[in-house]
Structure 1
């Protein structure tokens, strides 16, 4: 179990580096740093001519490959050691499947090129892989003190909201990735409107501005939704630390995400701010995924209770 826990921690942290590395590749326009060669770089095992974009792209490939190996080991040993836990096998499969899928999309983009709309899917797939690895890690650490589903009852209406919010968040990450890929991050010079001096001049928007403002709109609606559920949890789950603390973290993460989105405009797309923007949404989606796990357990307990 010590080896399994070490693998889990390394895989989770490694997947965060993969996410940040992918965002860094996009932000620095280093996607073709190795030319159209894959997995080699300009057709060479050791590149003879080193450039900044080559270093970024090659580093991302090496980190992704190393993390892929760790995830493969994690999935195998998890299946073998804690396969009796209901969620283990599914999460092990999802961890590998989506990690391989994102790698294939990245390779296809290098070899044959892809549209910005297809490339924007890449980040969402990485998020799903990260969430699966994170949940697998939580399952491994639960072995010491198993979580009892009976101690937390999440009503069906709340479960539906959690599931829906996770899907909606993936859709928002797609719009955010699309903003990056079509280079629309700074097409609106103001915040929260595209032009604060003339906020409703929708007829003057070009395509890139519509994408940017569309992303801001759906992100704003998510913030309102999370705020609503946060207040609801504080009122109705006073005895549940997991719900209260968990949704407090969710709210604070999304608040930080909104502030970072505004800072991207105010700082002229500062690279550190942009990478933090990607990191925070990954943490937020990870928290949502944990509540999906808790909701699934609560639903199963509810079903078993009604059957008995």
Structure 2
């Protein structure tokens, strides 16, 4: 049975990655109204070959991918809850299905009642949580922990707090990046933070959104690099931390590079989609680190337990 669960897990992760990218593609190409105000069908019916436009095809393909991905996610949630006896399984299964439903309802609401950029940016954030929960379920299915030393991981209290705050902050940066896309602010500031020999003056909401996102992203870069350095100094003996941090830094550099190239190429669709994919993977890695964080006993607790045993 586990063989079939693994196949479903792979299909669920891949399909949800396509859902995330499909949502970004819809926004980038202005295809959100490709099917009019009708949902889940296109203008109340399936796409007719005699009336196909690129926007309609992209929007309908995104909806079809979401439907297929939803089937895989629900099946994975049910099967993993029954056969994968891990502490986090049922919680992750519930989260994956719940946020999948929320994501679909927000998309439907946007189609039928209009699209607010701030709500649609949150829609991308919801899809991040949905993807991350499916990815974590897949890692549990493949018993990823047993391949490394995750079960022996011990994280100090300060590091645990830092990792939690870093993950929440990253989610906020993701929201700000999605807002850039939905506000049409991708080229609001071709250069940053200087322009014409001095600091840039922010005159429009698009410039403010873009400047805010880049400033938040700079803080995130410094934060992740400093966290990786601290992990190198104190936790490098744990392979799971070593590989997670290396992956995080490499993905972060790819994210920055794709962001720069997106602006430099005038919002190239290829680099824009790469930008969306990489941040999805970054959040996936951070979600796994948070999972490890929640399992780990802090050094302080272990010392307290040892002291109690000694006294006893």
Per the TM superposition, whether the score is higher than 0.5 is yes
- Aligned partner of 2:164 in structure 1 is 163
Superposition deviation, residue 101 in structure 1: 0.6
Describe the SS at the equivalent of 2:95.
helix
Describe the SS at the equivalent of 1:15.
helix
Aligned length: 304
Distance 1:10 1:92, change over 3 A: same
Distance 1:231 1:80, change over 3 A: same
Does residue 217 of structure 2 align to residue 219 of structure 1?
yes
Runs of 5+ unmatched residues, structure 2: none
The partner residue of 2:245 within 244, 247, 251 is 247
Runs of 5+ unmatched residues, structure 1: none
Give CA deviations for 1:144-169 in whole Å, capped at 9, x if unaligned.
93766552111111111111111111
Superposition deviation, residue 237 in structure 1: 1.8
Q: Is the 8 A contact 1:260 1:276 kept in 2?
A: yes
**Aligned runs of 1:1-308 on 2, under 5 Å?**
1-47=2-48, 48-82=50-84, 84-142=85-143, 145=146, 150-190=151-191, 192-193=192-193, 195-202=194-201, 204-299=202-297, 306=305
Q: Is the 8 A contact 1:88 1:136 kept in 2?
A: yes
Any runs of at least 4 consecutive aligned residues in structure 1 with deviations exceeding 3 A, and if so which?
143-150, 299-308
Q: Is the 8 A contact 1:149 1:297 kept in 2?
A: no
Distance 1:276 1:143, change over 3 A: closer
Give the distance between the partners of 2:147 and 2:266, measured in 1 at CA.
47
Superposition deviation, residue 281 in structure 1: 0.3
Describe the SS at the equivalent of 2:184.
coil
Q: TM-score by structure 1 length?
A: 0.94
**Superposition RMSD on alpha carbons, in Å?**
1.9
Superposition deviation, residue 143 in structure 1: 7.6
Superposition deviation, residue 233 in structure 1: 1.2
Superposition deviation, residue 94 in structure 1: 0.5
Give the distance between the partners of 2:27 and 2:301, measured in 1 at CA.
45
